[in-house]
C-alpha cells in the first residue's frame, strides 16, 4: 500500500519551496483547491452485496482508446521542474501501469519525445487554441503523426490566467534555460516572468465555440474539451463537434470559488445525455473517489497532483506506483460495491442519486 499523503510530504522535502508551491498551489484563497477533494469525500457510496465479484475487471474504453484502468494521467506543464527526466519519465510510468497519459503542450520535452518514451502505449495530447492558428494546426498535425489517439483542448485558461498568490509571494519565475520544447522556446537570461508569462502572449482570449469548430475540422483525431463546469457549456461543446468533455476547474488554479468538479459532474452528465463520454478531474485521491465518479456517469477520471509527487520522489517508477495503488484501490472498492466491471457501476451506488 502506498500512502499518497506521505508521498506528497516526501516530494515537498525534495523540491524548492517555490517549485512545490507552483505544483501544489491554487488561485487566490485556494477555496476551490481545497473543495475539490472534499467534495468527493462528501459523496457516499451505497454498496451492493451478494454479487459475483470473483473476478473484477477495471478495463474500459474511451473514444476508441483501450484502457487497463479508468484512470488517466492529467496534463501538467513543466514536468522537468519535478524530475530531470520530466515528461518521458511520466510516459514510461504510465505505460508500465497501463494508464493513458495526456501530454501537455507546455512541456519540457517535445510531443514526439513523449510518444517515443511511451513505447506504443496510448497517449492523448493537450493543446490550447492559440492566436496563431497556423501554430495550433501544426501542433495538431504533429500529434496525429506521432500516433496520439485523441486531443484535449483546454478552455478554462481563458480569457486570463488565475491569480496565484503563492507564486506572487514567492516571486517564482522559470529558471534560465528552461525549455518549452513544443514551441522551440528557451527561457533567456534575465527572464523574470512566471510560468504563465510566455503562454499569455500566445493564447487568444476572444475564443468562442465557433472557433472550436475550426479545431475539430483541422484535426482528424477525436477532440475532447477540458474545462467544462456548466451543463450548457457541455451542450455547446458537443454541438460544436466535441467528441467528449472533461469536467474540470483547472485543479483550483483559475477561478477561486468555482464549483468543485464532483458537484458539477452530475448536471454535465445529464445535459450531455450519453451523446459523448464525460470525464472528470480535480481532487481524486483514492479508488473510492474513482468509483464515485464512474457511478455518477464519468467514463474515466484524470489524476494529476499525486502523479507529480510520484514523479518527484521516484521518477518513472514513482508514477507507476501511484497509478498501481489507485488501480488496486479502485478494484477493491468495486468488489465491495458488488461491481465486477466498469460497466456494472451505476448511480445506484451513490447515495441520493437516481439511476442513470
As given in the structure block, the three cell numbers for residue 147 are: 500516433
Residue 250 appears among annotated catalytic residues: yes
Region 244-260: mean pLDDT is 97
Angle made by CA atoms 19, 143, 127, in degrees to the nearest 5: 45
Give the residue-averaged pLDDT of 37-60: 97
CATH of the domain at 159: 3.20.20.70
Please indicate, yes or no, if residue 220 is contained in any of the structural domains.
Answer: yes
Query: From the candidates 141, 191, 230, 250, which is the catalytic residue?
Result: 250
344 within some domain: no
* pLDDT tier at 190, thresholds 50, 70, 90: low
Please report whether residue 27 resides in a domain: yes
pLDDT at 243 over 50: yes
**Confidence at 72, pLDDT banded by 50, 70, 90:** very high
For 71, 79, 322, the CA distances from 325, given in Å and listed in that order, are 11, 21, 5
Note the Cα 224 to chain centre separation in Å: 12
Alpha-carbon span 330 to 264, nearest angstrom? 22
Record the pTM. 0.94
Instruction: Name the residue range of residue 191's domain.
Output: 4-339
Q: What is the pLDDT of residue 197?
A: 65
Residue 81 lies in a domain: yes
> What is the SS3 assignment for 240-299?
CCCCEEEECCHHHCCCCCCCCHHHHHHHHHHHHCCCCCEEEECCCCCHHHHHHHHHHCCC
Q: Name the average pLDDT for the chain.
A: 93
C-alpha cell at 175: 529558471
Backbone angles phi, psi at 234, to 5 degrees: -60, -45
Residue 103 has pLDDT above 80, yes or no: yes
Upper half-sphere CA count for residue 140 (Cβ side, 13 Å)? 23
**Domain total of the chain:** 1
Query: Measuring CA to CA, which residue among 117, 184, 173 is closest to residue 146?
Result: 117
Does any domain span residue 198? yes
More confidently predicted of 202 and 112: 112
Cβ atoms of 82 and 311 within 8 Å: the answer is: yes
Q: Is the pLDDT assigned to residue 207 strictly greater than 60?
A: yes
Q: Is residue 89 part of a domain?
A: yes
173-182 tens-digit pLDDT: 677 667 789 9
| Partners of residue 245 on adjacent β-strands | 225, 278
Assess if residue 188 is contained within a domain. yes
Grid cell at residue 158 = 481563458
Q: Given a cut of 70, is residue 192 above it in pLDDT?
A: no
Query: Residue 193 is placed in which grid cell?
Result: 516572468
178 DSSP assignment: -
Give SS3 for 171.
Answer: coil
> What is the average per-residue pLDDT within 3-28?
94
Q: Which residues of 21-53 are buried (b: 16+ CB within 10 A; e: fewer)?
A: bbbbbbbbebebbebbbebbeebeeeeeeeeeb
Confidence of residue 191 (pLDDT cuts 50, 70, 90): low
Q: Which three three-digit cell numbers place residue 217? A: 475540422
Average pLDDT over residues 309-314: 98
Mean pLDDT across the stretch 295-309? 98
When pLDDT is cut at 50, 70 and 90, the band that residue 170 belongs to is: low
pLDDT at 126: 98
Average pLDDT over residues 277-291: 98
* 57 within some domain: yes
194 confidence band (pLDDT: 50, 70, 90): low
Amino acid at each position: 500500500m502506498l500512502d499518497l499523503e506521505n508521498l506528497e510530504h516526501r516530494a515537498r522535502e525534495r523540491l524548492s519551496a517555490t517549485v512545490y508551491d507552483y505544483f501544489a498551489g491554487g488561485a487566490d484563497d485556494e477555496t476551490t483547491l481545497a473543495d475539490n477533494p472534499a467534495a468527493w469525500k462528501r459523496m457516499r457510496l451505497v454498496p451492493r452485496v451478494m454479487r459475483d465479484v470473483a473476478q473484477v475487471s477495471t478495463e474500459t474504453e474511451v473514444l476508441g482508446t483501450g484502457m487497463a484502468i479508468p484512470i488517466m494521467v492529467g496534463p501538467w506543464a513543466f514536468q522537468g521542474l519535478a524530475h530531470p527526466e520530466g515528461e518521458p519519465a511520466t510516459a514510461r510510468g504510465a505505460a508500465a501501469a497501463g494508464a493513458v497519459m495526456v501530454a501537455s503542450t507546455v512541456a519540457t520535452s517535445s510531443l514526439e519525445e513523449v510518444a517515443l518514451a511511451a513505447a506504443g502505449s496510448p497517449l492523448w495530447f493537450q493543446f490550447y487554441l492559440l492566436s496563431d492558428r497556423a501554430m495550433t494546426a501544426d501542433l495538431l498535425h504533429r500529434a496525429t503523426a506521432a500516433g496520439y489517439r485523441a486531443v484535449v483542448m483546454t478552455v478554462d485558461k481563458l480569457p486570463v490566467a488565475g491569480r496565484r498568490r503563492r507564486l506572487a509571494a514567492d516571486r517564482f519565475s522559470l529558471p534560465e534555460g528552461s525549455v518549452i520544447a513544443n514551441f522551440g522556446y528557451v527561457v533567456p537570461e534575465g527572464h523574470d516572468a512566471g510560468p504563465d508569462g510566455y503562454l499569455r502572449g500566445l493564447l487568444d482570449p476572444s475564443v468562442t465555440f465557433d472557433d472550436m469548430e475550426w479545431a475539430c475540422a483541422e484535426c482528424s483525431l477525436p477532440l475532447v474539451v477540458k474545462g467544462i463546469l456548466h451543463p450548457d457549456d457541455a451542450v455547446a461543446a458537443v454541438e460544436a463537434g466535441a467528441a467528449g468533455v472533461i469536467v474540470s476547474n483547472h485543479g483550483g488554479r483559475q477561478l477561486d470559488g468555482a464549483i468543485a468538479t464532483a458537484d458539477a459532474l452530475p448536471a454535465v452528465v445529464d445535459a450531455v445525455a450519453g451523446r459523448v463520454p464525460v470525464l472528470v478531474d480535480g481532487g481524486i485521491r483514492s479508488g473510492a473517489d474513482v468509483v464515485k465518479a464512474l457511478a455518477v456517469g464519468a467514463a474515466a477520471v484524470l489524476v494529476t497532483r499525486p502523479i507529480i509527487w510520484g514523479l518527484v520522489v521516484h521518477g518513472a517508477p514513482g508514477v507507476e506506483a501511484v497509478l498501481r495503488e489507485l488501480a488496486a484501490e479502485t478494484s477493491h472498492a468495486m468488489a465491495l460495491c458488488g461491481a465486477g466491471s466498469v460497466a456494472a457501476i451505476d448511480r445506484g451506488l451513490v447515495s441520493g442519486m437516481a439511476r442513470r
